[in-house]
Structure 1
Amino acid sequence: MTLAGPSTTLSPQEIRVVLLVDDEPQALKWFVRLYGDEFVVLTAGGVDEALAVLRERGNEVAVLLTDYRMPQQDGVRLLATVSREYEHISRLLMSAYADKDVALAAVNQGRVEQILEKPLDEAVTRQALRDASAASRRRLRDQVLLRRRDENLRETLGFLAHEVRTPLATVGGYLHALRDRQQAPACGSAELACLALRRPGEVRTMLDAALRRTDYAQSLVTSFVRTARDAYHADEAASELASDLVKSVRDGYPFEADEAGWLSCDLAQDFTLPGQRDLLYLVLCTLVKNALLALHAAPPPLPAIRIVLDTEAGEPVMRVADNGPGIAPEVLARLTREPVTTRAEQGGHGMGLVFCRRVMQSLGGDIEVLSPPGGGVHICLYFKFREEEKHHEVSR
């Protein structure tokens, strides 16, 4: 194997590694001299040598250019192997015998992207290498994107499973309670169901609470299904107003008793969300849930949660604040970077804010958690927009 690199200094994004496979040593030397000014050139004298190079440096190679006629194995078989095992590599074939059978074999077996006729034309070959390198980089970016989407979906699914388990467990508890209260009707009629009430109206209260939690669990599942569907579309999910997101959480979250009265919203400085509305729904539900838990753990005289749409340094911000007991400094420093929970005995896993941070960063933004000395927690969701996305205000 020989190696030649560009004489000029190129950034990592510009370096294009080409693996040339040819059984003629003089042709290898000529190719390195001619194209080494623009490409990093690796060479191999046959199929076995080429496969050895790929096993060692296949992740670096952008283009494979192989001769057709070679001893032992022909170039098409090499291209077929590369198409299966190194999907990002662009595959080019050169041949002085570019007849119909060679072309068909190259396309059908090796999935070749272009056939170059020998002797190579310098201008045509150079452009073909440039185009093939660019195609390889696009495939690599797409593969990375798909891996990240898969990882995000798996993480979201795990988070969702935990979030759904809590309301479903509550629904199950209510159903068990109703079953335990069932009694045989005094009149002996099989068409009547009698429930023993421990306090007036408790059955209606349990049914209403169960319905709220069922609707909330359904909204979480629906959000995940939309996110999973949109993740594999080329276009981003349709953007929506931040105020619509806040209203959907305000109206859909399964508040208990007078909890809904604790929440107030200032939606005057509205803005358009940068896609991924369904993941942001999970984020905002998580922040509201955490605030409610904090307020129940150490109730202030007048519990309050406030969601405000705002701007900071010209960028849109969503703020979620509560007047609960606050967060200890040693816990605060770790919250969004690693799983931390003070509610392990209640089933807490500490992944909530970590998940929120990853969602915000996937949108090009971030999350900041503050806890002033006087108590309370202030969470800021920062959104970054492309230049064409205009921030706008909408009256309440």
Structure 2
Amino acid sequence: MNADDTGAARGLWGPHAVLMVDDEPQACKWFARLYGNEFTVLTAASVDEALALLSERGHEVAVLLTDYAMPARDGVALLGEVRRLYPHVARLLVSAYADKDVAMSAVNQGQVEKILEKPLDDALTRQALREALASSVRRTREQSLIARRESALRETLGFLAHEVTSPLATVRGYLSAMRENHRDQPEASGGMAYIAQQKPGDVLFMIEAAQRRAEYAQSLVSTFVQTARDASRGDTSASLRASELVCAVQDEYPFDAGESGWLSVELEPDFTLPGRRDLLYLVLCTLVKNALIALRGDPPAQPRVHIALHRVAMVPGLSPQPAVRVIDNGPGIAPEVLQRLTREPVTTRAESGGSGMGLLFCQRVMTTLGGEIAVHSLQGQGTTVTLYFPPSTDDTPVEETR
């Protein structure tokens, strides 16, 4: 079985191979034959050949094992290049006793992580390769996790900016309207000013609506600032109950006049949420906003948005798990739109600033927490969005809620 077949048979994706570099063809053949039964082995006969192979298959290589003494460029030069270009690769050097001083210099310069002396001892070599492979896989996962976190942070900040911009744009609109309707009284009447109204209560409505939206924008920013402070202190102990999150949204969301009466909540069975408050708060606010917008467009006789805590199985046969549901009795979602939600940006409100990124953002957050999001809807019968969370060890099991 060659190296490619071995990798495919083991179902290995990402770094997993050992690259052996030696200018003696027999040494490469011997190494591949001896260790190929446990590892995916690639070989190269020179530094240039090894670098050429890495340029094509560097994402597969987890461990580099190179001889020191080779013509043209030696193994230490290769180790330095690999350290710079492929930081996930674990680097091992094979050297004769005469090259011990050079080898130690390579260790001190951080170019190599372990030295194996010729002739190779089978047991020691296998153990070194196992440890190096595990180290490389661990580094790759850590780098991938950092990259995913950076990507999620960029997406979160972009979505947060959009969510903050919307209420602030409304505030600016109300202020502009009041400015346009501002009237100065003649000096003879004391120089008083007033804002003209089309009907009684217009000015008070705009002031109260602007205040609600400004407070909502402030709450979004404040919770992200607090999370940043916690992260800078290394504080990962904070936990949040699902009921606390629901109550925060109920208290802080900027409902339009009368809309807060549409909302009802069910706070049992309660459970501990994974992750930080900021992302989950933004997710739940997004779902509530979507429900309210749907109800405004085609309001039923008694508009209703219900947030309920559940413990329910995602599909029949699976164990129940904690969940939060947002249910509305709006017009529902068309089937051709429903099947695209959470997979691509879809919006029916492009003319009013909708981007279709809301549910995609919610999906990304739930996925990073080890959860899932499901959307069920029938036209004319409303929409139910369920956030499924991974089970928590401190939750008391209860009967499944349908």
Alignment TM-score, normalising by the size of structure 1 = 0.87
Moved more, 264-273 or 335-344: 335-344
- Counterpart residue number, 1:221: 221
Offset from partner CA, 1:365-387 (integer Å, 9 cap, x none): 2222222465222222222226x
Give the C-alpha shift of residue 44 in structure 1.
1.7
Matches within 5 A, 1:289-308: 289-308=289-308
Matches within 5 A, 1:233-248: 238-248=238-248
Give the C-alpha shift of residue 340 in structure 1.
2.0
Q: Say if 1:174 and 1:11 are closer, same or farther in 2 by CA, change over 3 A.
A: closer
- Counterpart residue number, 2:395: 390
- Counterpart residue number, 2:327: 321
Q: Say if 1:117 and 1:222 are closer, same or farther in 2 by CA, change over 3 A.
A: farther
Give the C-alpha shift of residue 322 in structure 1.
1.5
Structure 2 CA distance for aligned equivalents of residues 13 and 232 of structure 1: 34
Give the C-alpha shift of residue 305 in structure 1.
1.1
- Counterpart residue number, 1:68: 68
Number of matched pairs:
388
CA contact (8 A) 1:157 1:224 kept: no
- Counterpart residue number, 1:44: 44
Offset from partner CA, 1:97-130 (integer Å, 9 cap, x none): 35445323343162x1112222222222211110
Q: Say if 1:364 and 1:234 are closer, same or farther in 2 by CA, change over 3 A.
A: farther
CA contact (8 A) 2:263 2:304 kept: yes
Structure 2 CA distance for aligned equivalents of residues 230 and 137 of structure 1: 29
CA contact (8 A) 1:271 1:392 kept: no
Moved more, 297-306 or 177-186: 177-186
- Counterpart residue number, 2:174: 174
- Counterpart residue number, 2:195: 196
Moved more, 85-94 or 320-329: 320-329
Q: Which amino acid aligns with 2:38?
A: E
Q: Which amino acid aligns with 1:133?
A: L
Match of 1:132, SS?
helix
- Counterpart residue number, 1:355: 361
Q: Which amino acid aligns with 1:195?
A: Y
Give the C-alpha shift of residue 15 in structure 1.
9.2
Q: Say if 1:14 and 1:294 are closer, same or farther in 2 by CA, change over 3 A.
A: closer
Offset from partner CA, 1:161-220 (integer Å, 9 cap, x none): 322221111111122233334444655899x87332425554444333222212212222
Structure 2 CA distance for aligned equivalents of residues 309 and 35 of structure 1: 54
Structure 1 CA distance for aligned equivalents of residues 331 and 142 of structure 2: 46
Q: Say if 1:250 and 1:15 are closer, same or farther in 2 by CA, change over 3 A.
A: closer
Give the C-alpha shift of residue 252 in structure 1.
0.9
Structure 1: runs of 5+ lacking an equivalent: none
CA contact (8 A) 1:230 1:237 kept: no
Give the C-alpha shift of residue 253 in structure 1.
0.7
Give the C-alpha shift of residue 307 in structure 1.
0.7
Q: Which amino acid aligns with 2:194?
A: L
Q: Say if 1:141 and 1:31 are closer, same or farther in 2 by CA, change over 3 A.
A: same
Structure 2 CA distance for aligned equivalents of residues 389 and 41 of structure 1: 45
Match of 1:208, SS?
helix
Matches within 5 A, 1:50-129: 50-96=50-96, 97-108=98-109, 110=111, 112-129=112-129
Q: Which amino acid aligns with 2:395?
A: K
Q: Which amino acid aligns with 1:339?
A: P
CA contact (8 A) 2:331 2:379 kept: no
Moved more, 293-302 or 198-207: 198-207
Q: Say if 1:257 and 1:75 are closer, same or farther in 2 by CA, change over 3 A.
A: same
Alignment TM-score, normalising by the size of structure 2 = 0.85
Q: Which amino acid aligns with 2:103?
A: V
CA contact (8 A) 2:20 2:43 kept: yes
CA contact (8 A) 1:3 1:43 kept: no
Structure 1 CA distance for aligned equivalents of residues 5 and 213 of structure 2: 63
Structure 2 CA distance for aligned equivalents of residues 309 and 299 of structure 1: 25
Structure 1 CA distance for aligned equivalents of residues 239 and 54 of structure 2: 43
Match of 1:62, SS?
strand
Give the C-alpha shift of residue 250 in structure 1.
0.8
CA contact (8 A) 2:13 2:60 kept: no
CA contact (8 A) 2:182 2:196 kept: no
RMSD (Å) for aligned C-alpha atoms:
3.1
- Give identity over the alignment, percent: 58
Moved more, 195-204 or 28-37: 195-204
Moved more, 23-32 or 70-79: 23-32
Q: Say if 1:288 and 1:193 are closer, same or farther in 2 by CA, change over 3 A.
A: farther
Moved more, 14-23 or 52-61: 14-23
Moved more, 31-40 or 260-269: 31-40
